[in-house]
């Protein structure tokens, strides 16, 4: 059954998708982080409420209450319901929205015990992110995929961007991706260490180590943007923040590929979500935005979620270090005057 939390894992909660709150949690230390992890998944024993090996993948999703995050959560829940196995951990900073999402997902999952947990955490707080990952491992013994859908959308030219604006966008987009990716790598290392100990306990006299990939595999998906690798006017700070996410992902992919961890990004164009509603409600701006795309249509949250779901799962086992555009051809096609060429 669902065990959602009302406890805050972060000492600096309330940092919205565009907000700049959060931080290291003051002097809380590791013990407070461990206590927060226990509160996040309900206190007391959790017997009979975990995903078993072979039942299906265990996925952890940060930024689950946003437009893209909630679309991905619904897709992962639908897949878990279809296979009647695996588990989904959803995390977000907005407690009320997290409760609402968890209730909807539990309905999708049919109330299957151990299938869903909700963890209230601020992804700007690395201790809070670590706590969610550690508790997931303690409960399920594995993490097959981690996604971070935390981010923001802000348009401003370089001259209209202050150092504080740049810092805020780097924190919300890049720092959160860094925290989630680092926690995923640490979780992967913990699982491999547990498997090695079980295979070759202390005093057993050595023996061959595990295969380079370790037990099973793992996948991390971060959300970049088309403007992270493609020049779009008046998105100076956003472009810097999203380009940093792509660089972070590529370096981690190169570092941990031989250890069985894949790292990729999805790079959407302008997505129709609550964040962009105010901008897109203006008919002139909406028309100009649609005209930028070769397909002449905006991207939906579910378009991006479908790409992220693919990169998380085993169907993409040979894909790592890649940024998958979900942008209607914006970053790669230039069909401005195709009609002049008789096509």
pTM (two decimals): 0.76
Question: Quick check: 154 and 238 in contact, CB under 8 A?
Answer: yes
Q: Which CATH topology does 29-202+210-326 take? A: Rossmann fold (3.40.50)
Give the list of residues 6+ apart from residue 153 with CB closer than 8 angstroms, or none.
Answer: 18, 238, 270, 271, 275, 276, 279
Tell me the domain boundaries of the chain: 29-202+210-326
* Measured torsion, CA atoms of residues 288, 297, 78, 8, in degrees rounded to the nearest 10: -10
**Within 10 A of 276 (CB to CB), how many other CB atoms are there?**
18
Query: In the block, which residue shows the tokens 């059954």?
Result: 1
Counting Cα atoms < 13 Å in the Cβ hemisphere of 46 gives: 24
Mean pLDDT of the chain: 76
Distance from C-alpha of 37 to C-alpha of 25, rounded to nearest angstrom:
14
Query: In the block, which residue shows the tokens 């319901």?
Result: 81
Residues 257-284 have pLDDT tens digits of 999 999 999 988 777 666 655 665 666 6
What is the mean pLDDT of the segment spanning 213-227? 76
In this prediction, residue 300 has a pLDDT band, given cuts at 50, 70 and 90, of confident
For residue 161 the two structure tokens come to 């961007």
Least confident span in 13-22, 129-138, 143-152, 195-204: 13-22
């Amino acid at each position: 059954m669902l065990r959602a939390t009302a406890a805050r894992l972060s000492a600096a909660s309330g940092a919205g998708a565009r907000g700049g709150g959060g931080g290291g949690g003051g002097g809380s230390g590791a013990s407070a982080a461990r206590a927060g992890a226990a509160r996040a998944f309900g206190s007391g024993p959790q017997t009979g409420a975990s995903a078993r090996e072979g039942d299906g993948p265990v996925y952890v999703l940060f930024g689950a209450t946003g437009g893209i995050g909630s679309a991905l959560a619904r897709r992962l829940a639908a897949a878990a319901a279809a296979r009647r196995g695996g588990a989904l951990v959803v995390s977000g900073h907005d407690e009320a929205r997290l409760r609402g999402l968890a209730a909807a997902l539990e309905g999708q999952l049919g109330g299957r015990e151990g299938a869903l947990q909700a963890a209230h955490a601020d992804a700007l707080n690395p201790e809070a992110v670590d706590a969610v990952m550690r508790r997931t491992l303690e409960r399920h013994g594995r993490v097959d995929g981690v996604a971070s859908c935390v981010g923001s959308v802000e348009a401003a030219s370089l001259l209209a961007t202050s150092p504080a604006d740049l810092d805020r966008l780097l924190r919300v987009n890049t720092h959160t991706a860094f925290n989630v990716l680092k926690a995923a790598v640490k979780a992967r290392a913990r699982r491999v260490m547990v498997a090695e100990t079980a295979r070759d306990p202390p005093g057993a006299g050595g023996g061959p180590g595990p295969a380079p990939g370790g037990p099973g595999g793992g996948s991390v998906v971060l959300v970049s943007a088309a403007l992270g690798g493609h020049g779009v006017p008046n998105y100076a700070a956003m472009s810097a923040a999203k380009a940093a996410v792509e660089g972070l992902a590529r370096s981690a992919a190169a570092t941990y590929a031989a250890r069985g961890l894949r790292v990729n990004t999805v790079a959407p164009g302008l997505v129709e979500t609550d964040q962009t509603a105010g901008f897109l409600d203006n008919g002139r701006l909406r028309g100009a935005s649609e005209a930028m795309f070769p397909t002449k249509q905006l991207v939906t949250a579910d378009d991006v979620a479908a790409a992220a779901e693919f990169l998380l799962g085993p169907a993409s086992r040979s894909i790592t270090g890649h940024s998958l555009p979900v942008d209607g051809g914006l970053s790669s096609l230039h069909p401005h005057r195709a009609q002049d060429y008789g096509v």
